Amino acid sequence: MIELIKIILTLMVSTVFIVGVLGYIRVGFEAPPWYVSMCLGAAIGATYYLLVSIAFK
């Protein structure tokens, strides 16, 4: 169960990372919002991880 949740979290974070990189490439090098997506994904992933670790203690 916990392994499945870790896999889901990894997929979420990597999806946000990929979307951020693609958005960076598509928008160009002027005003890239890709780092915003990456920070958002990291924050969401960390929040879910904390909630899960608290729930399964």
* Containing structural domain, residue 34: 2-55
Q: Decide which of 31 and 47 is more confident.
A: 47
Note the pLDDT tens digit of each residue in 14-33.
777 777 666 666 665 555 56
Domain count along the chain: 1
More confident residue, 50 or 23: 50
Buried b (16+ CB within 10 A) or exposed e, 1-34: eeeebeeebeeebeebeeebeeebeeeeeeebeb
pLDDT of residue 34 exceeding 60, the answer is: yes
The DSSP letter of residue 39 is H
Average pLDDT, the chain: 71
